[in-house]
């Protein structure tokens, strides 16, 4: 008997959390960048493309993250548009 449940793509949606929800020292990879075309383009130009490794340095507003060896500050509004897949290994 074949069991039909939720599609497997639902699992990947559960794994993603907004960037602003990471704790200090917690890391992960960018899973998606949401928003208008202009916002997505701006965030991707800064290096927030799918699969980019990031680490939260200081949560809050502005939050500070480490991305490609650089520290970047983001308003909380911008953090809400970046969805992150949290690393299994604690940083």
- What sign does the dihedral 16-66-87-25 (CA atoms) show? negative
Looking at residue 1, its pLDDT comes to 46
- Classified by CATH at the fold level, domain 18-86 comes out as SH3 type barrels. (2.30.30)
For residues 6 and 63, give the distance between their C-alpha atoms in angstroms, rounded to a whole number.
35
For the chain, residues with pLDDT lower than 70 are 1-14, 88-91
For the chain, report the end-to-end CA distance as a whole number of angstroms. 43
Q: What is the pTM of this model?
A: 0.74
**Domain parsing of the chain, residue ranges:** 18-86
Q: Return the pLDDT at 88.
A: 60
């Amino acid at each position: 008997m074949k069991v039909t449940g939720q599609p497997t793509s639902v699992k990947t949606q559960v794994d993603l959390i907004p960037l602003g929800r990471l704790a200090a020292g917690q890391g992960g990879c960018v899973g998606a960048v949401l928003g208008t075309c202009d916002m997505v383009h701006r965030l991707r130009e800064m290096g927030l493309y799918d699969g980019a490794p990031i680490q939260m340095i200081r949560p809050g507003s502005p939050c500070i993250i480490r991305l490609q060896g650089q520290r970047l500050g983001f308003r909380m509004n911008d953090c809400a548009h970046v969805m992150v897949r949290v690393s299994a290994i604690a940083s």
